[in-house]
Amino acid sequence: MAGKFYGVGVGPGDPELMTLKAKRVLEEVDIICTPKSAVGKESIALSIVEEVLGGDLEIKELIFPMTHNQDKLNKFWDEATAEIKEELEQEKDVAFITIGDPLLYSTYIYVLRRLEKNTDIEIETVPGINSYSACSAAMNRPLAEKNETVAIIPAAYDYDNLDEILANFDNTVLMKVARNFDDIVAKLDKVGITENSFYASRCGREDEFITTDLKSLCGEDLDYLSMVITKQSIEEE
C-alpha cells in the first residue's frame, strides 16, 4: 500500500500563522518536500517549518526553475512527481510544503494533478493562510466589505486586461508585481486609485516591508514575493 501524500500550506511567513493541522501533519510524515527555484536558493516555506518544528527533519529539495518555458516546467514537474511517487511507493507519508495556500498559484497544483492520475495514492490538501489576507491584516484594511467585488491577479505574467479588471472590480490583489510594477502603478494612477493602494513584500517575515507610497518604488529592484492591493475607495464610518 502506498504512503499518503499531503499538500501543506504553511502560511504567509509568520511561523505563528501556520495552522495547528499543518504542524501536526508535518510532525507525523516521513518526508517533507520543499520546492526551490535552484540549488542553494532560500526556501521560505522550509524556514517557516524549521522555526516551528526545529531542524531534525527529513527534507527532500525539489527544483522548479523560474521560467515561463512550458516544456522546461513540464520536465521539472514530471521529475519532481516521480521522486515523490518513489517515496510513496515505499509506504512513506510525504508532505509537499508551500507558502500561503497550496491551491492558490502554487507549484503543488502541478504535482497534485500528476499524482491524482494514480488512483492508489491517497491525497490530502491542508489549506494555509494566504499572503494577501496577512497583508490586509497588517494594514487593518478590509479586502472587501458589503457588496464589494475582488479580483486576484498573477501580475508576474504579461497581461493586457488590467484596465478592464480595474474598471469591473471594486478591489484587486496583484500578486508578484515586481516584474511589471512601474506599468501597474501607471495604470492605477490613470484611474486615480494609487493613493488607495498599498505595496507589501515578505509579509510576516523579519524583513517585511509595507508602504502606501507606490510611486517611490518605481524603478527599484523589488522583491519577487511582493503584491499590491487596491481599493476603488476607502469607506469611512
Q: Domain residues of the chain, as ranges?
A: 4-126, 131-231
Question: How far is it, in rounded angstroms, from Cα 1 to Cα 11?
Answer: 31
Share of the chain above pLDDT 90, in %: 78
Which is higher by pLDDT, 72 or 23?
23
Given a cut of 60, whether residue 90 has pLDDT beyond it is yes
Which CATH superfamily includes the segment(s) 4-126?
A: Tetrapyrrole methylase, N-terminal domain (3.40.1010.10)
DSSP state of 176: S
Which CATH superfamily includes the segment(s) 131-231?
A: Tetrapyrrole methylase, C-terminal domain (3.30.950.10)
40 is written with which cell numbers?
Answer: 542553494
Which is higher by pLDDT, 70 or 237?
70
Mean pLDDT, the chain, as a whole number? Answer: 92
Lowest mean per-residue pLDDT among 2-6, 51-55, 123-127, 146-150: 51-55
Question: How far is it, in rounded angstroms, from Cα 227 to Cα 206?
Answer: 17
Mean pLDDT of 164-186: 94
Do you know the residue count of the chain?
A: 237
Structure confidence at residue 237 as a pLDDT band (50, 70, 90): very low
Task: Read off the pLDDT of residues 113-133 as tens digits, 9 standing for 90 and up.
Answer: 999 997 789 999 999 999 999
Counting beta carbons within 10 angstroms of the beta carbon of residue 143, is it exposed (0 to 12), middle (13 to 18) or buried (19 or more)? middle
The pLDDT, as a whole number, for residue 76 is 87
Are the CB atoms for 232 and 142 separated by under 8 Å? no
Residue 50 sits at φ, ψ, to 5 deg, of -65, -35
The pLDDT, as a whole number, for residue 208 is 93
The pLDDT, as a whole number, for residue 173 is 97
- CB count in 10 Å sphere of residue 214: 21
